[in-house]
Amino acid sequence: LGYLFLKMILDKAITPEEVTTSLIILVIVFVFVRALMSKGRRQVSLPGPWSFPLIGNLLQLGDHPFLTFTEMRKKYGDVFLIKLGMVPVVVVNGMEMVKHVLLKDGEHFAGRPNMHTFSFLAEGKSFSFSVNYGESWKLHKKIASSALRTFSKAEAKSSTCSCLLEEQVIEEVSELVKVFAELTSKKGSFEPRNAITCAVANVVCALCFGKRYDHSDEEFIRIVKTNDDLLKASSAANPADFIPCFRYLPLRIINAPREFYRALNEFITLHVQDHLTTYDKDHMRDITDALINTCHKKYATTKTATLNDDEIISTVNDIFGAGFETVSTCLYWSFLYLIYYPEIQARIQEEIDGNIGLKPPRFEDRKMLPYTEAFINEVFRHASFIPFTIPHCTTADTTLNGYFIPKNTCTFINMYQVNHDETIWDNPNVFSPERFLNENRELNKSLVDKVLIFGMGIRKCLGEDVARNEVFLFITMVLQQLKLNKCPRAELDLTPTYGLAMKPKPYQLQAEPRSADSA
């Protein structure tokens, strides 16, 4: 325990002054927590490494837990048990076991553990992180999926909708191209993360709230920074998630996520409440209006209105968060790969020039650009920037790989391992978009289905189609108009920094306008 505190001090997660107060409180509550955790309950019977009392295997995880679990798999198999603090956690690797957990026996693994950090999101009402799984949750997700489809599919052009994903992305990429060119002109080279994040955030704001912000807008900058701070605070292994008595300690590492979640919740609540006041059933502006509309009529599978105002806020919160971070992280990685492998960038541009030319790309053009699609899927696979699904939890006593797993057991799905499994992928550590093309240079959809980044089954990310379409338009429009270069003599690093969504280390690039006759 002393080592754990020392490590947090060295990592600047807590101050030495906080340790004294924390240890006093810890001693007081430890006896009660230990008694609570040891109440008669059937134990998980899986193999796994020996663990320390109280802190379990926390100190063995290292800086990249997904790699640690991949190594443990060699000794303990696809399914093994670790202890994070006082919480037993089943770690699942291997495509077959992952399919069993998420698809075949999905109902039994569809819960969420009661984690301290995520309890702050949407004031604990988030359906993505909801501990409770049942009919109400299913209906909640169905409504959210329907609202998202309404404003993200090309068919929506013929409806009364005024906020279409496709049009909004085109507008934001056009602005991003200008920003990239201006930054290169002024600075010679620049770090692209802020510009990418603002562009993607504007797409989500348009989908959810029917509005966009100027990149210099103070409110917009504040909420973008709040999201970034939230991810930094949540990416650290929060002891309170796995050692319950830590929840009572006055440590910033434990309490910081609450502050950032509250700021994000207030931003979204303000916009939703404004929509509730200005709602017009004859003019659907965005996803929020679509959700409100659902509340005003009977949903197909129910006899009464299905969402209250708080549930609308939590649903918008989920869509906002999911659409924001996954896409911006993917683009940040994509531009790094494009300057790391200029020959791949040139091939994508050749494909764009030959099949689209100078006309603005559309979602429907994805099928015309198989190499570009292969590149995007290889970014998903190789970077595996979301290494785990959001933690799952068993909803009933069940078995896995012949072992008994009791109800309410926390479960980690190691998607990174599947994306780098040598039995599925040839030379998995090599970045090669060609692996996704068959002998006819067409996209191999059976391999695409084996890439895990959005999860699968009941708890699969509802924004996968939106994210894939959005990433495609961003990449094709940028490369249609710009050539991206690394800075001369710069060293690029593909090693990720661990977090909820793993980002590459900061890098600089240059954006050079492509001549009109290059297309």
Annotated binding site for heme: 461
Is 366:380 a contact under the CB 8 Å cutoff?
Answer: no
Helical (H) or strand (E) element with 18: helix 16-37
Q: Are strands 392-393 and 410-413 parallel, antiparallel or unpaired?
A: antiparallel
Helical (H) or strand (E) element with 512: strand 509-513
**Residue corresponding to tokens 């969420």:** 112
- In DSSP notation, 64-125 reads -HHHHHHHHHHHH-SEEEEEETTEEEEEE-SHHHHHIIIIITGGGG-B----TGGGGGGGGT
Q: Give the integer Cα–Cα distance in Å for 452 and 93.
A: 12
The first and second tokens of residue 299, run together, are 């949903």
List binding-site positions: 461
For 17, residues 6+ apart whose C-beta sits below 8 A from its C-beta are none
**Residue corresponding to tokens 């593909």:** 494
The first and second tokens of residue 90, run together, are 């089943």
For 80, residues 6+ apart whose C-beta sits below 8 A from its C-beta are 46, 47, 48, 49, 72, 73, 90, 91
**Residue corresponding to tokens 């391999």:** 447
| DSSP, res 414 | B
The angle at the Cα of 29, spanning 232 to 393, to the nearest 5 degrees, equals 55
- Alpha carbon dihedral 141, 145, 146, 149, in 10-degree steps, equals 170
Side-chain half-sphere exposure of 229, counting CA atoms within 13 A: 18
Determine if residue 402 is left, alpha or beta; phi over 0 gives left, psi from -120 to 50 gives alpha, anything else beta.
left
| DSSP, res 398 | E
Side-chain half-sphere exposure of 366, counting CA atoms within 13 A: 18
Is 81:369 a contact under the CB 8 Å cutoff?
Answer: no
**Strand, helix or coil at 460?**
coil
One-letter amino acid identity for 453?
Answer: I
Beta bridge partners of 392: 411
SS3 content of the chain, % helix, strand, coil (to 5): 55, 10, 35
Is 514:345 a contact under the CB 8 Å cutoff?
Answer: no
One-letter amino acid identity for 356?
Answer: I
Q: Give the integer Cα–Cα distance in Å for 124 and 310.
A: 11
Is 165:151 a contact under the CB 8 Å cutoff?
Answer: yes
